[in-house]
Amino acid sequence: MLNKRTIIFGLVALVALAGIIWYGSRQDSTIGEQAAALLRGGLFPKEEPSQLIEEEFILGNPEAPVTIIEYSSHFCGACVNFHSETLPLIMEKYIKNGQVKLIPRRLSPSELGQTLLCAQEQNKFQLVDDYLFEHAQELLEQTSQAASEEELNAIVAKWLKAVAGNSGLNQADFDQCFDSDKYHQKIVNWFDQAEAAGVEATPTFFINGQMIVGSQPYSQFEKIIEDEL
């Protein structure tokens, strides 16, 4: 489980993350302050925003009576476990029948957030999100040998663009979106929303407003969901 001291942002942090993923790097900063400070510096070339996605990605029926808001990171072991073990059970019993919807908000390095939102433009958010949870460690391994920030940037961009292409996205459209800064504010908003909600660790879930923190068994989710139905 990552707490707010260990949520890492941006390209430079990926190298450090490979060695200190379970430890703190910004002890005195809040989630929103860390994200805003990094993103304010501009990680991507500036481009006039166009066709921005304002809606949240929702997994399941938007009218479902139970809403799970999930704050997690692709580099958090407990988050990976939730996606590989617990979410499929929730999906099968509650999401597929329209009783539950899941709203994911990713507290990962901003390049991954940009990747997801660009994928959402092509209706591939969930597909790419699942891949990142399964393979984010590969990105850490590749970036660990980077000799400069420029080389690091190139490795990350190449890897994420390859993920998009291998996931069936239109490569040209994705690349144009990724290389822009069009989702700058939306990514910052994820972190601001987390801080405003009192999130201090990943994963953190809100089931119709009731908070669950950390690695919890499926039975815990099931109990709260049943109480809300």
* Helix pair angle (149-166, 11-20), 10° resolution: 90
Q: What percent of the chain has pLDDT over 70?
A: 76
The yes-or-no verdict on residue 65 having pLDDT over 70 is yes
The yes-or-no verdict on residue 175 having pLDDT over 80 is yes
pTM of the complete model beyond 0.85: no
Averaged pLDDT of the chain: 79
The yes-or-no verdict on residue 203 having pLDDT over 50 is yes
What pLDDT sits at residue 75? 86
> Domain range holding 217?
2-228
**Residue pointed to by tokens 């988050």:** 79
The yes-or-no verdict on residue 48 having pLDDT over 50 is no
Which residues, 6 or more positions from 45, have their beta carbon under 8 angstroms from its beta carbon?
Answer: 179, 180, 181
Q: Is 30 exposed, middle or buried (0-12, 13-18, 19+ CB in 10 A)?
A: middle
Q: With helix as H, strand as E and coil as C, how does the chain read? A: CEECCCCCCCHHHHHHHHHHCCCCCCCCCCHHHHHHHHHHCCCCCCCCCCCCCCCCCCECCCCCCEEEEEEECCCCHHHHHHHHHHHHHHHHHHHCCCCEEEEEEECCCHHHHHHHHHHHCCCCHHHHHHHHHHHHHHHHHHHCCCCCHHHHHHHHHHHHHHHHHHCCCCHHHHHHHHHCCCCHHHHHHHHHHHHHCCCCEECEEEECCEEEECCCCHHHHHHHHHHHC
CATH code of 162's domain? 3.40.30.10
Give the β-pairing of 66-72 and 204-207.
Answer: antiparallel
Q: Which is more confidently placed, 154 or 35?
A: 154
Q: Is 40 exposed, middle or buried (0-12, 13-18, 19+ CB in 10 A)?
A: exposed
At 48, which amino acid appears?
E
Longest CA–CA separation in the chain, Å: 54
The total domain count for the chain is 1
pLDDT classification of 54: cutoffs 50, 70, 90: low
